Amino acid sequence: MKRTYEDILLVIDMQNDFVADDGRCRVAGAKSTVAAISRALASARERGWGVVYVVRAHRPDGSDAETFRRHLFSDGSGVCVAGSRGADIVAGLRPEADDYIVVKTRFDAFYATDLDVLLRGVGARRLYLAGTQYPNCIRSTAVGALERDYEVAVLTDCCSAATPDVAEANIRDMIAMGIRCLPFSDV
Amino acid sequence: MKRTYEDILLVIDMQNDFVADDGRCRVAGAKSTVAAISRALASARERGWGVVYVVRAHRPDGSDAETFRRHLFSDGSGVCVAGSRGADIVAGLRPEADDYIVVKTRFDAFYATDLDVLLRGVGARRLYLAGTQYPNCIRSTAVGALERDYEVAVLTDCCSAATPDVAEANIRDMIAMGIRCLPFSDV
C-alpha cells in the first residue's frame, strides 16, 4: 500500500475565500490561474507525481488564526473556517482519491503541519508549487522547502498575487535565493 | 468570539485502536481510566478550562506513519486511519461542541501539529495531561510542554501504560524533570 513519489505538485490555498469573487480574502490574480493549475494537475497525475493540496482551515472561534486576522472572526464569520464554503477548494480543482491534503493555519505550509512528515514518508525530493499568493504562502512555503533541502520550483503560470508587480518582485527575490521559477510547460 | 483558557485539559489518544478490547495497538491499562477521564472532563468544563483532544490519525496508505508502524498499513488496514472506527475517540469521552481537536502522527502532540499555535491563541499557561500511554505520547507531550515553558501536570489517575511497572518508571522520571504527577483530585 505504501506509495513513493519523488515529484510532488503542491496546490496551495486555492480555496473559495482566496479565489472566489466573493471570497473574504480574495487575491485578485488567483481566479485566472485555475485553468493552468487544472492542466498541471492532469499532467502531474499522468506523470505519476504525487499531489498534495495545502489548505488553510481555522477553528470557528479563530483561536488558531494570525493575530492580524482575528478581527475577521470576532466581527464576522471568519476566514477559511473548517467545513465552511469559504474553506472549500474551488470548483475545477477538487482533489482526487489518491491526493493528499495538509491543513495549515499560517503562511508557510511547513509551519505547525505534518507536511514534512508526509513528504519524507513518500520519499519526495522535488516540489513544484502552484496556488496563491506569491508574497505570503507561496514564498514562505518555497523558503520552507529550501530550508529542508527539497528541490523546489515555483510554477509561474500557476501562482498569483494581488498585482503583477507584487508577483514580479517576489519572483525576482526567489530566483536570487536559488528557487527555480518557471511555467509548468518548461518543467 | 475569541476565547481565553489559561488551564487546559489535554486528552491524548483515547481512541478505539488504543483503548478498545479489539484495538489494533491496545494499551492494557487504558480502558480502566475512561471513568476517571470522564470525571476530569466534567470537572474541567465546570471550572471553565479549555479541553483539547489530541488524536492520532493517519492517511490510509500509512505514508505519514512511523517507520516501525508502516507494516500495519501494508499488511492490513493500518492503525488510527482517519475516519475509521479505530481512530474514533472511545464512547464515554466524546468531545463537546466547544472542545478543540488536534491531529497528530507521532508521539509528541507538539510535533508537526498546530497544538502550540492553538494553545498560544487561547492564552494557555497550565496543561493537565490525561490519556495513554505513559512512555510514549504522555511523556513526549509532557516534555514538549516543558520545553515550551508551559506549566505541565500529568494526571496519574487519568493516564495509563501496558503495565504498572512501566507507569511507575515513567512517573519517577517525569517527577525528576520537574513535571508534577498527581491525581486529578489533588489539582
**Predicted TM-score of the model (pTM):** 0.93
Residue B1 lies in a domain: no
Contacts A114 to B, Cβ<8 Å: 64, 104-105, 112-113
* Contact call for B1 and A73, based on CB within 8 A: yes
From the candidates B64, B79, B101, which should be mutated to test the interface with A, based on the most A CB atoms within 10 A?
Answer: B64
Residue A21 lies in a domain: yes
- The whole-angstrom distance between B150's CA and the closest CA on chain A is 18
DSSP state, A70? Answer: T
Q: H helices of B16-138, where?
A: 16-19, 34-46, 71-74, 115-121
Residue A114 lies in a domain: yes
Specify the pLDDT at position B43: 98
Instruction: State the complex-level ipTM.
Output: 0.88
| Three-class DSSP category at A118 | helix
Length of chain B: 187
Specify the pLDDT at position B75: 80
Specify the pLDDT at position B76: 82
B30: which 3 cell numbers?
487504558
Specify the pLDDT at position A2: 57
Contacts B117 to A, Cβ<8 Å: 64, 105-106, 112
pLDDT per position as a tens digit, A43-53:
999 999 999 99
Interface size, chain A vs chain B, as Cβ–Cβ contacts under 8 Å? 70
Contacts A122 to B, Cβ<8 Å: 63
Helix pair B164-177, B139-147: axis angle to 10 deg: 10
Phi–psi pair at A137, nearest 5 degrees: -75, -35
Residue-range definition of the domain harbouring residue A81: 7-186
Q: Which of B107, B102, B116, B118 is nearest to B146 (CA)?
A: B116
Residue A54 lies in a domain: yes
Q: Which CATH number does the domain housing residue A72 bear?
A: 3.40.50.850
* Contact call for A117 and B100, based on CB within 8 A: no
| Number of domains composing chain B | 1
Which H helix or E strand runs over B42? Answer: helix B34-46
Give CA separation, A166 vs A13, A37, A100, B17, in Å: 18, 20, 29, 49
A69: which 3 cell numbers?
486576522
Q: Which of A114, A170, A134, A125 is nearest to A152 (CA)?
A: A125
Residue A149 · residue A116 · CB < 8 Å: no
Given pLDDT bands bounded at 50, 70 and 90, which one contains residue A3? confident
Percentage helix, strand, coil for chain A under 3-state DSSP, each rounded to 5? 35, 20, 40
Residue A2 lies in a domain: no
Instruction: Provide block-wise average pLDDT over 10 residues at a time, chain B (187 residues).
Output: 88 98 96 98 97 97 94 91 97 96 98 98 98 97 97 98 97 96 97
Residue B94 lies in a domain: yes
Quick check: A1 pLDDT over 80?
A: no
